[in-house]
């Protein structure tokens, strides 16, 4: 089973902190107008959210795993709800690599796998170094190509 690049933790932590910061900021702002005596609740909320977010990030990284198996891609993820997905190569419509601005900053890349399914229509593997993302995309493409059937639906 392959793990993600540890740097993805920075990315997720950053996202968690931004989220906590926004919410904490809004609450602080509202309190400033409504109940100035309770103003400290805002930063406190931020601290709690940030802590939970950071903890979640670490756990998320520890749990995230994937494997390129013989006939399917296997993913294992989720902190509260543990989700394991089997994506058979026969069902893959196409494979993309993606880099968001955040990911570019962290020097990371994601691979997105599309199927025709209604629920797992797109499966994302985040936190890959660009080289690994490209090689994974290539590998999946080959595996999918070997099984090219006419009816992906």
Q: Is 111 in the site for another protein (CB under 8 A)?
A: no
Binding segment for another protein (CB under 8 A), chosen from 10-18, 54-62, 70-78, 124-132, is 70-78
Q: Which of 83, 96, 138, 142 forms a contact with another protein (CB under 8 A)?
A: 83
Question: Residue 4 in contact with residue 111, Cβ under 8 Å?
Answer: no
Contact 24, 30 (CB under 8 A): no
Is there binding between residue 148 and another protein (CB under 8 A)?
no
Query: Is 70 an interacting residue with respect to another protein (CB under 8 A)?
Result: yes
Among 8, 16, 106, 123, binds another protein (CB under 8 A): 123
Does residue 72 contact residue 96 with C-beta atoms inside 8 Å? no
* 55, two tokens: 């903890």
End-to-end CA distance of the chain: 29
Report the C-alpha gap between 85 and 121 in whole angstroms. Answer: 12
> Which of 33, 118, 131, 148 is the binder for another protein (CB under 8 A)?
118
Which residues neighbour 148 within 8 Å (Cβ) at sequence distance 6 or greater?
Answer: none
Tell me how far, at minimum, the Cβ of 51 lies from another protein, in Å: 18
Q: Which residue of 10, 120, 134, 141 would you call a contact of another protein, by CB under 8 A?
A: 120
Q: 39, 99 in Cβ contact below 8 A?
A: no
- Taking the C-alpha atoms of residue 112 and residue 69, their distance in angstroms, rounded to an integer, is 17
Of residues 33, 36, 81, 101, which one binds another protein by CB under 8 A?
81
The verdict on 153 binding another protein (CB under 8 A) reads: yes
The backbone torsions φ and ψ at residue 73, rounded to the nearest 5 degrees and listed phi first, read -95, 135
Using the rule CB under 8 A, is 34 a contact of another protein?
no
User: Shortest distance, CB of residue 30 to another protein, whole angstroms?
Assistant: 24
| Interface positions with another protein (CB under 8 A) | 69-72, 78, 80-88, 90-91, 115-120, 123, 147, 149, 153
């Amino acid at each position: 089973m392959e793990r993600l690049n540890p740097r993805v933790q920075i990315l997720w932590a950053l996202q968690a902190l931004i989220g906590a910061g926004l919410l904490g900021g809004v609450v602080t702002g509202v309190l400033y107008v409504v109940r100035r005596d309770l103003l400290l609740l805002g930063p406190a909320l931020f601290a709690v959210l940030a802590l939970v977010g950071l903890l979640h990030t670490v756990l998320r990284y520890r749990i995230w795993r994937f494997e390129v198996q013989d006939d399917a891609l296997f993913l294992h993820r989720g902190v509260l709800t543990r989700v394991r997905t089997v994506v058979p190569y026969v069902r893959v419509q196409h494979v993309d690599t993606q880099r968001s601005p955040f990911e570019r900053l962290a020097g990371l890349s994601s691979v997105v796998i599309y199927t025709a399914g209604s629920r797992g229509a797109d499966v994302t593997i985040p936190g890959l170094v660009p080289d690994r993302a490209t090689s994974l995309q290539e590998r999946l493409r080959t595996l999918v190509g070997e099984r090219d059937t006419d009816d992906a639906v």
